Amino acid sequence: MKLILNVLLIVCLFSCKENTDNSLQTEDNATISISKKTLQKLNYTDYVLDTKVKKITRNWEKYTELERVIVNLKQGDLSYFKGNQEILEALIIELRQNIPEKLNSPAIMSRLITLETKMYKLESVVNLSNSTTETLINSVKEVLVSFSNLNFQMNKKIERDSQKIKKP
């Protein structure tokens, strides 16, 4: 009798372990397929930098790093947000501290803070074990929209500064 119970217990333990591994593997595969297919179909306005703004941001190293992160994110690579909270914090802090003088305005700073919030949210969603694909997609879209709005605001700032309006 004890032998039969021990055999059944061992069979149950091994079958539970096997199912757990398969569910994790299925979840990872679903994330990869969502990343490759769905992220490219997100509907938002993607603003790119004007040539004048590109000249200003050329020496802003942390913005260049942020651009690389966003390009990878658009390709479906979420690895930057997996377990890299210290690196993410360092990027955001240095991004705000080293902003070029021509771009340093309250409107741009507010866009940076919004982007920071959305990136932290995405980082937490990526690292949650029970996050849904819909939540992940929405978080990625929020980061992409925030980055696009930052680019738009920088373009508008330089455009306004370049206008020479004479007051009577």
Give pLDDT tens digits for 133-158: 888 899 999 999 999 999 999 999 99
Higher pLDDT, 119 or 13: 119
CA distances to 7, 83, 132 from 19, rounded to whole Å, are 19, 25, 19
List Cα–Cα distances, 6 to 14, 17, 20, 154, in angstroms. 12, 17, 21, 68
Question: Is pLDDT at 11 greater than 60 in this prediction?
Answer: yes
- Rounded to the nearest 5 degrees, what angle is found at the Cα of 138, between the Cα atoms of 108 and 104? 5
Range of lowest pLDDT (28-37, 112-121, 136-145): 28-37
Q: Where are the alpha helices (DSSP H) in the chain?
A: 2-37, 51-57, 61-74, 85-97, 106-127, 133-162
pTM of the model: 0.76
Would you state the CATH architecture of domain 27-162? Up-down Bundle (1.20)
In the DSSP assignment, the letter for residue 47 is -
> pLDDT band at 36, cuts 50/70/90?
low
Model pLDDT, residue 147: 96
Lookup: tokens for 78: 């979420």
Question: Would you state the pLDDT for residue 33?
Answer: 36
Tell me the per-residue pLDDT of 73-111, one tens digit each, with 9 for 90 and over. 888 888 888 877 889 899 999 999 999 999 999 999 999
- What average pLDDT does the chain have? 82
